[in-house]
Amino acid sequence: MDVFKAISERRSVRKFKKMEIEDQLIYKILETGLWAPSAGNLQSWDVILINDQEIKQKLTTAAYMRDFISEAPVVMVLCANMHKSATIYNDRGRELFCIQDAACAGQNMLLAIHALGLGACWVGAFDEWLVAEAVVLPRHLRPVALIPFGYPDETPLPPPRRELDELIHWNKFGQEVCIER
């Protein structure tokens, strides 16, 4: 699938068919995550893939009872590896770079999921501690997204986006600096 088509036609899918996903597709999806850029090429992120119904149910609970999570055949728990990034970059690694590493990898994987005829939804609203408990995370892995995915059973319409004109600023944003050091 063309990259511009994949980017513009990807939607958040919250309804899934009761169909398993072939392992080969899952590997292909994760591989696209590995090709994302990362600070110092450290690839400071990890994933846990959940297909166990009981654990999926715990993730639904952690995400304030969004039932579509446990209804997906597989749920990806995307984690920022704070320790790995902090080893080189200290606080900036722990609080910024590992979150960006995971997000860029996550975006690649969302595009791959769509291009393979699957659907997914990036879920950010959850209790991190409950997720960590459900999938047995060590202290240095911070869960930063839940990504349930599977064969889509809905075709969502494109949600509104901002106008390009509003987004583009040349050379400076405002008239004076307001940020304080």
- What CA–CA distance (Å, rounded) separates 110 from 26? 12
Q: What is the nearest approach in angstroms of its own copies to the Cβ of residue 20? A: 14
Taking CB under 8 A as the rule, does residue 67 contact its own copies? no
- What CA–CA distance (Å, rounded) separates 132 from 114? 27
Taking CB under 8 A as the rule, does residue 52 contact its own copies? yes
Contact characters 112-141, its own copies, x per CB under 8 A: x--x------x-xx--xx--xx-xxxxx-x
Q: Mind giving me the DSSP string for 51-77?
A: --HHHHHHHHHHTTT-THHHHSSEEEE
Q: What is the nearest approach in angstroms of its own copies to the Cβ of residue 151? A: 18
Of these, 17, 30, 57, 151, which contacts its own copies (CB under 8 A)?
Answer: 30
Q: What is the nearest approach in angstroms of its own copies to the Cβ of residue 60? A: 15
Taking CB under 8 A as the rule, does residue 25 contact its own copies? no
Taking CB under 8 A as the rule, does residue 156 contact its own copies? no
Taking CB under 8 A as the rule, does residue 168 contact its own copies? yes
Q: What is the nearest approach in angstroms of its own copies to the Cβ of residue 96? A: 7
Of these, 13, 63, 110, 118, which contacts its own copies (CB under 8 A)?
Answer: 110
Based on C-alpha coordinates, what's the Rg of the chain? Answer: 18
Pick the closest to residue 123 from 82, 65, 73 (CA basis): 65
- The piece of 14-22, 60-68, 93-101, 149-157 that touches its own copies (CB under 8 A) is 93-101
Structure tokens at 23: 């392992």
Pick the closest to residue 151 from 75, 76, 72 (CA basis): 72
- What CA–CA distance (Å, rounded) separates 178 from 174? 9
- What CA–CA distance (Å, rounded) separates 55 from 134? 6
